Amino acid sequence: MSEQDESARLWKVNRTIHELVKDRGFQVSEDEITMDLATFRETFSSNGSVDRNRLHFYTNSRVNSSDQIFIFFSDERNVGVKTMRKLLSILEEKAITRGIIVITAMAQQYRLEEFSESDLLVNITHHTLVPRHDVLSPEEKTLLLQKYRLKETQLPRIQLADPVARYYGLRRGQVVKITRPSETSGRYASYRICF
């Protein structure tokens, strides 16, 4: 990718992350959101390429000035312990408890998931209130839609962030069969599509 293409991509990323932070209730200047590409290149480029370290920023909440967020642009393809320690040291130094890390295009090639230890203390699929979930293969999904003459949009939904969806690593468009006990028929199945 050329340096021109790279800077144009980072300009869009920078604009979107500022909009995201603003939409979450933090102070962001309109100038940072409406900055044109030429100004972006002039402000953040050195030697023709964008210096990701100059893109870092932090801001306060509009409601509570003690609530801050730090946005960290990683300049490494492999985000490992070194990068995380660097981010955490910045958060500790500035006494900020919230952060977002923006990584390079690695996410297009790899699918990374994060779980905190507290998420994994208990296997939620073993809980008595969680019914059995089975992820359908693409072929089973096609048969289901044909059998009931449905479109994908007509299926009930399960959110990508649902704990069971995260447990099974569901992706958008995948269908899960949920089997629950029933007093009248013994058990019944319902289907949900991940969105």
Tell me the mean pLDDT in the region 127-154: 96
115, pLDDT greater than 70:
yes
Q: What is the pLDDT of residue 74?
A: 86
**C-alpha dihedral over 75, 77, 78, 83, to 10 degrees?**
10
Integer Cα distance of 91 and 40 in angstroms: 26
In 3-state terms, what secondary structure has residue 9?
helix
Average pLDDT over residues 69-86: 85
Name the pLDDT band for 70 (thresholds 50, 70, 90).
very high
The total of other beta-carbon atoms located within 10 Å of residue 85's CB is: 10
Structure tokens at 175: 């269908």
Reported confidence tier of residue 110, pLDDT bands at 50, 70, 90: low
Given a cut of 80, is residue 170 above it in pLDDT? yes
Read out DSSP for 49-91?
EE-GGGT-EEEEBSS-TT-EEEEEE---SS--HHHHHHHHHHH
> What does the pLDDT read at residue 117?
77
pTM: 0.61
pLDDT digits (tens, 9 = 90+) for 11-59: 999 999 999 899 989 999 999 999 999 999 999 998 878 999 999 999 9
pLDDT at 72: 92
What b-and-e string marks burial along 45-83, b requiring 16 or more CB atoms within 10 Å of the CB? beeeebebeebebbbeeeeeeeebbbbbbbeeeeeeeeb
CATH architecture of 3-109: 3-Layer(aba) Sandwich (3.40)
Categorize the per-residue pLDDT at 181 as very low, low, confident or very high, splitting at 50, 70 and 90: very high
The residues spanned by each domain of the chain are 3-109, 122-194
pLDDT for position 184: 93
Tell the CATH topology of 122-194.
Eukaryotic RPB6 RNA polymerase subunit (3.90.940)
| pLDDT for position 104 | 74
Beta-carbon-side half-sphere exposure of residue 72 (alpha carbons within 13 Å): 18
The reported pLDDT for the residue numbered 186 is: 93
